[in-house]
Structure 1
């Protein structure tokens, strides 16, 4: 009965209009770093599955969903949709998730980040997503007071390739990957916690997602390029507490990705939780129609509520 009530609650969240404050803000009000001028246009269309699919991102943004002030928990999650670094499943793994967070009093901020597949990206395309990710969490931290967010309760969540970007931010947050533009860039880019949902983690040949790897580092990367973005190699004791969720039968992104990262977190003494479901495949998002898997978001809520 408890599971049924949770399921009904989640359906209502996704299908009804959520009453929340909502705004879209550019990440880079001055110059977008590491980008050249082209005539390429951003495209946003609904694919055959009815998912809003965005490609050729030209102007990265954050889309902010805030809960009612009286319900606000002080927590926020910056969300990175997946899409193989080729596109973004923007509502399925982005705005739908943000609205679900609002009902729990958590601010949800969806990042429309630049994609290294895009022709407009310079030769330094491998760091383009990280540049946008660092800027996004810094912007949220700068707006914390205005948005009823605690600046030390800002986490991140990424799906698939977005999970790779989230884990990249969680392990490369201290790196200087763009020139300072304003006071926002003086703030920390370290997430206070991470949630990685069927994430790409490694670019190593055995377990990687070939599409994400090709988008980031091309057809013939060097060993150094592969190691730099194989994020299980960059975990240390200061990595954020991490929640991982994966299906054992994922045929697109092997569950070994989550296992590799979990092992690295454990070896470095970082608080972490790994949940592997026997079935679910890839790209299940909230999994509302799966009687077992649909509870994962509530498991996450329980986890994040009890963080120190």
Structure 2
């Protein structure tokens, strides 16, 4: 699907705050890689947040600041959810509104879940969607007032694993479909919020590992998606937040990645907090949640 064909497919969606946003399908139905037909339906359980499960067709929702405020930066947002679903508002659209307020274009990805019946090979689907989303952003950079060399990614929890996969894996995980796929899928910078990093069974978040790789993955597959092992000198600069009392994703995930970045002389900024637990989003649910947004804003300005 070319850029000319893509743009007419932009759809409009009214978000709960009353603003209309563009929703872009990543592919035409016939072009979705690693896909098979199923009778499974997308599901949003009744919860305090919008948590989308069993995603069949991935989409990218566009949030743009005013042209007067735009600073040329863009961020692809990968919400967490343990590779079982996406915390679409809590770690997605809330981030987008914050980024827009700082002049940054934001794009929330609703990516496929590895264990969806419509997915053929589990571990390929999320990274295929993330790579395609990054390419779509760059393909439409002029319309979005975005600099091609200032496109980053932010991911939380399992979304942090997907973000670090996008930033450290150099191979394309699907064959090129059109002119969009001529663009680079690697981000220029990464923000990782209480991220899953490793698939090492002693440290990983087991739910994310089981959903992504299956319950009995090979040693080779575990190593491939243990992203601290994939860091090299070309890994983009990275900002990391984690809490020592995180009882869901061990803080060692962040530490392992930071150590790999330092070893490879990659610019890295890590902030560890003694409290906060896990899944605090923008850091406002309780007094113990880290107030990390100001630090991130300062880092982005650099």
Aligned with 2:236: secondary structure?
Answer: coil
- Corresponding position of 2:25: 26
- Corresponding position of 2:106: 108
Structure 2: segments with no counterpart, 5+ residues: 1-15
Q: CA deviation at 1:127?
A: 1.3
- Corresponding position of 2:167: 170
Aligned with 1:43: secondary structure?
Answer: coil
Structure 1: segments with no counterpart, 5+ residues: 1-15
Confirm or deny: 8 A CA contact 1:138 1:184 kept in the other structure.
yes
Alpha-carbon distance between aligned partners in 2 of 1:54 and 1:293, rounded to the nearest angstrom: 24
1:198 and 2:194 matched: yes
- Corresponding position of 1:98: 96
Confirm or deny: 8 A CA contact 1:66 1:147 kept in the other structure.
yes
How large is the Cα RMSD of the aligned pairs?
A: 1.4
Alpha-carbon distance between aligned partners in 2 of 1:101 and 1:261, rounded to the nearest angstrom: 24
What CA deviation, in whole Å up to 9, does each residue of 1:182-220 have, x standing for no partner? Answer: 111011011000000000000001110000100111111
Q: CA deviation at 1:44?
A: 2.1
- Corresponding position of 2:134: 137
Alpha-carbon distance between aligned partners in 1 of 2:201 and 2:287, rounded to the nearest angstrom: 34
Aligned with 1:205: secondary structure?
Answer: coil
Q: CA deviation at 1:287?
A: 1.6
Alpha-carbon distance between aligned partners in 2 of 1:148 and 1:217, rounded to the nearest angstrom: 38
In the TM superposition, 1:120-135 aligns within 5 A as 120-122=118-120, 124-135=121-132
Confirm or deny: 8 A CA contact 1:18 1:99 kept in the other structure.
no
Aligned with 2:45: secondary structure?
Answer: strand
Q: CA deviation at 1:289?
A: 4.1
What CA deviation, in whole Å up to 9, does each residue of 1:68-114 have, x standing for no partner? Answer: 11000111110000000001111000011101111111111000000
Q: CA deviation at 1:146?
A: 0.5
Alpha-carbon distance between aligned partners in 1 of 2:18 and 2:231, rounded to the nearest angstrom: 37
Alpha-carbon distance between aligned partners in 2 of 1:198 and 1:188, rounded to the nearest angstrom: 26
TM-score by length of 2: 0.92
Aligned with 2:68: secondary structure?
Answer: helix
List structure 1 runs of 4+ shifted beyond 6 angstroms: none
Comparing 280-289 with 160-169, greater Cα deviation is found at 280-289
TM-score by length of 1: 0.90
Alpha-carbon distance between aligned partners in 2 of 1:220 and 1:292, rounded to the nearest angstrom: 37
In the TM superposition, 1:137-156 aligns within 5 A as 137-156=134-153
